[in-house]
Amino acid sequence: MKETVLTGVFWDAGFYLVLSALVIPVLRFFKIPVSLGYLLAGIALGPYALGSLTGNFPALSILSLDNTEHVKILAELGIVLLLFVIGLEISPRRLWQMRGLVFGLGGLQVIVSAIVIGGIAFVWGNTGQVALLLGLGLALSSTAIVTQWLHQQKLFGSEVGRSSFSILLLQDLAVIPILLLLTILSTTIEGNISTYIFLSVLKMVVTVVAIYVIGKIILRPLFLFTNKHGGAEVFMAISLLTIVVSASVASFAGLSMGLGAFIAGLLLADTEYRHEISSLVVPFKSMLLGIFFFSFGMSINLQFIAEKPFWLFASVLGLMSIKSCIVFALCKLWKQTTSVAAETAILLSQAGEFGLLVVGGALTAGLMQESVGQFMLIVIGMTMMITPVIAPFARKAGKFIEHKGHNGKDYHADNAKKVEGHIVIFGYGRVGSLISENLSREGFRSIGFDKNIERVNKARAKSCPVYYGDTTKKATLEAASLGTALAVVITLDEASATKKLVQLIRKIDVEIPIIARAHDQQIMKEFNTLENLESVAENVILGDILSEKTLEYCRPYRKRNTEEPEKD
């Protein structure tokens, strides 16, 4: 019996891998989000579409899947790894840097959206529990789709990227209490409900603290030992073991495995191994998360679309309109420009993967009627399908509003807003824009200046805080708000221009750290003689990286060639 079940799991997994190998390249060629492709594939090949025809056409059984249980085993692993990666990206330092946008803008977005959507669901005849779950689940947007779009369009360094990512970050954090609430509502409670909730929260807190404290003591020395004495396979094994142990402990305590994986990610977020672990886990996460979308696609009954087409499309339009209006109003309240508010509102108007998880969990627990659950699964899926279509429109709308409102006249440094706690970038070309994007990913705000109007226009078209300004002018330096800045980055092409700029900055602020780009070691040595300035020689960095990559491939051949031949 066990062999039969295992064979079924492996057969379905093999089917999925073949599908991935065929579908993913096509989706990427047409620039369609992979998660959306998996959702569509799940609908098409599931028991309610192609699977329903196997009775009349038995040959179709080879191309369809009718057992969702096998796929859900892998899908649950996808959610666990997704929450681990989210924890890995949410370091305390990043949250502190973005605290205003994350806890303010993001927190209000979840609360207001949940109240409005939940209120509408309650008025529509749903119970209080169902309305609460629908409000919270539909308030969350799709992290997978939106972050992929921001990455493709290189928008992480823009104001749109900062506001969108901040809201998504808080939504990801909100998943944990929502899943806990779902667990509480799904459990048969004997006695006082307030006592049960208090004990559940207490158990969660004790478990979280225990995992975090013990992990904090053990993990760093363990990874240090592994890094020194083990190989790549040992490092991967320890990384996966961390996830498994943390998730298992949480599950043993009656909490979700995803919560345990999330805590494991938080533990490793501030370590020097964060990026290496992420590079190991992300491919598995992406593949298994695809199975998650695939499994939910399989559970969607297409007959509901045929039976209630008007109400489905009206619900999709209504949900996206409500969320857009709320996000737009809150962004304006947080003093974002109209173009940034409009683009962010359109990008985050859909429901997301955690909405699917909440509705699916409510259906499994029997909290929600099958008809309501199926209806909402289709609505969520349709909003996610529409997002790749409206995302380019959001980009164009942002550009149109930006140009209509300013026509380029406010791109000058004189019109730069007064900011604080930021990083100033002088020179916003290829290097400067990449630095801005990386800083934004880590939660830091930057403001750029360049005297090439084409570069400025190109950056402003992406809602990046970049202004036209000559670095030799006092007005440009005043617009940079150096007195409240954390640091200055200089990426100018000419060494003489960099030296002159450093001198001008030092007349305004003698202590602010300056990081400068140098073309070679000689210029780097000249820069390093200046006070409180650190320079980086780009040719040295590039040479070191290329050399290391070359040696990675060549070392095995050298060892093979230097081995002494065996003696007879």
Average pLDDT in the 441-450 region?
A: 84
For residues 416 and 447, the answer to whether their CB atoms sit within 8 Å is yes
Strand order in the sheet with 466-468: 466-468, 445-450, 422-426, 487-490, 514-518, 533-537
Which tokens belong to 149? 């779009």
CA–CA separation, 143 and 83 (whole Å): 11
What are the pLDDT digits (tens) for 248-259? 888 777 777 877
User: Using an 8 Å Cβ cutoff, are 325 and 345 in contact?
Assistant: yes
> SS3 string of 403-461?
HHHHCCHHHEHHHCCCCCCEEEEECCCHHHHHHHHHHHHCCCEEEEEECCHHHHHHHHC
Q: Is 399 exposed, middle or buried (0-12, 13-18, 19+ CB in 10 A)?
A: middle
Mean pLDDT value across residues 488-502 = 86
pTM: 0.75
Reported as a single tens digit per residue, the pLDDT across 392-416 is 888 888 877 776 655 545 566 655 6
CA dihedral 283→285→290→294, nearest 10 degrees, is 140
Structure tokens at 147: 């972050």
Burial code (b: 16+ CB inside 10 Å, e: under 16) for 330-358 equals bbeebebbebbbbbbbbbbbbbbbbbbbb
Q: What pLDDT band is residue 1 in, cutting at 50, 70 and 90?
A: very low
Q: Which amino acid is at 3?
A: E
Q: What is the DSSP letter of 488?
A: E
Q: How far are the Cα atoms of 183, 242, 281, 551 from residue 265, in angstroms, in the given order? A: 22, 9, 11, 32
- Listed in sequence order, the DSSP H helices in 187-302 are 193-229, 232-252, 257-269, 274-298
pLDDT beyond 50 at 97: yes
Supply the pLDDT for residue 557. 61
> Among 480, 401, 392, 443, which residue's Cα sits nearest to residue 157?
443
CA distance linking residue 3 with residue 18, whole number of Å: 22
Q: Which domains does the chain have, with CATH numbers?
A: 2-402 (1.20.1530.20), 410-546 (3.40.50.720)
* Pairwise CA distance, residues 392 & 396, whole Å: 6
* pLDDT computed for residue 568 by the predictor: 46
pLDDT at 12: 65
- Parallel/antiparallel/unpaired status of strands 487-490 and 422-426: parallel
Output the pLDDT for position 158: 80
Cα distance between residue 78 and residue 84, in whole Å: 10
> Mean of the pLDDT values across residues 83-101?
77
CB 348 within 8 A of CB 327: yes
**Residue 165, Ramachandran bin (φ over 0: left; ψ between -120 and 50: alpha; else beta):** alpha
pLDDT digit string, tens, across residues 209-235: 887 777 778 877 887 777 777 667 777
Q: In 3-state terms, what secondary structure has residue 215?
A: helix
Query: Does residue 303 have a pLDDT over 80?
Result: no
Asked if 64 contacts 50 with a C-beta cutoff of 8 angstroms, the reply is: yes
Q: What is the token pair recorded at 420?
A: 């604080």
* Rounded-to-integer distance, Cα 447 and Cα 162, Å: 13
pLDDT at residue number 55: 67
- The closest of 482, 465, 459 to 336, measured between CA atoms, is 465
Give the pLDDT confidence score for residue 132 in this predicted structure. 92
- Average pLDDT over the chain reads 79
For the segment 100-125, the average pLDDT, to the nearest whole number, is: 92
Question: Which residue matches tokens 């298992």?
Answer: 248
Whether the pLDDT of residue 272 is over 80: the answer is: no
The string of pLDDT tens digits covering residues 155-212 is: 877 888 888 988 998 888 888 888 878 877 777 666 566 776 777 777 777 877 887 7
Neighbouring CB atoms inside 10 A of 558's CB total 10
Three-state secondary structure call for residue 518: strand
- Quick one: average pLDDT of 467-493? 85
Handedness of CA 548, 550, 552, 558 (dihedral sign): negative
In terms of C-beta density within 10 A (0-12 exposed, 13-18 middle, 19 or more buried), how is residue 407 classed? exposed
**Residue 463 and residue 465: Cα distance in Å, rounded?**
6
Token couple for 128: 């209080």
**Would you state the structure tokens that stand for residue 182, as one six-digit string?**
């779902």
Higher pLDDT pick, 565 / 489:
489
Q: What would the 3-class secondary structure string for 527-552 be?
A: HHCCCCEEEEEHHHHHHHHHHHHHHH
